[in-house]
Amino acid sequence: DVKVTQSSRYLVKRTGEKVFLECVQDMDHENMFWYRQDPGLGLRLIYFSYDVKMKEKGDIPEGYSVSREKKERFSLILESASTNQTSMYLCASRGSGETQYFGPGTRLLVL
């Protein structure tokens, strides 16, 4: 069974704080993804990584950065959190097949 875990289920941060969201997968997958999910907008891709230290911007990368130092771990960083980054953040991983496996999500509230 593929397992994708995220460091926190719920987070409350203040405007301007630097926020780290961590994602770990245990299936040796090359590809990892960060999405945010907002009502009425579906899932939108923020960044993805296709190998260690390799990354590409998704559709909405502004205000975010990522880090992939090890194959199993993909971190999303909010450099200076803003209220419009309040959202559900979902991490996913994919191996050689087409299926993306999602983590449980982190609900972030920025005050």
Partner 1 sequence: QKEVEQNSGPLSVPEGAIASLNCTYSDRVSQSFFWYRQYSGKSPELIMSIYSNGDKEDGRFTAQLNKASQYVSLLIRDSQPSDSATYLCAVTRPGGTSYGKLTFGQGTILTVHP
- Binding residues for partner 1, rule: CB under 8 A, are 31, 33, 35, 40-45, 48, 50, 56, 58, 90, 94, 98-105
Nearer to partner 1, 13 or 44 (CB): 44
Helix, strand, or coil here: 98?
Answer: coil
Cβ at position 96, least distance to partner 1 in Å? 10
Distance CA 76, CA 47 (A): 8
For the chain, the distance separating the N- and C-terminal CA atoms, rounded to the nearest angstrom, is 37
CA gap 101, 3 in Å, rounded:
8
Nearest-approach distance from CB 25 to partner 1, in angstroms: 13
The CB-of-66 to partner 1 minimum distance in angstroms stands at 14
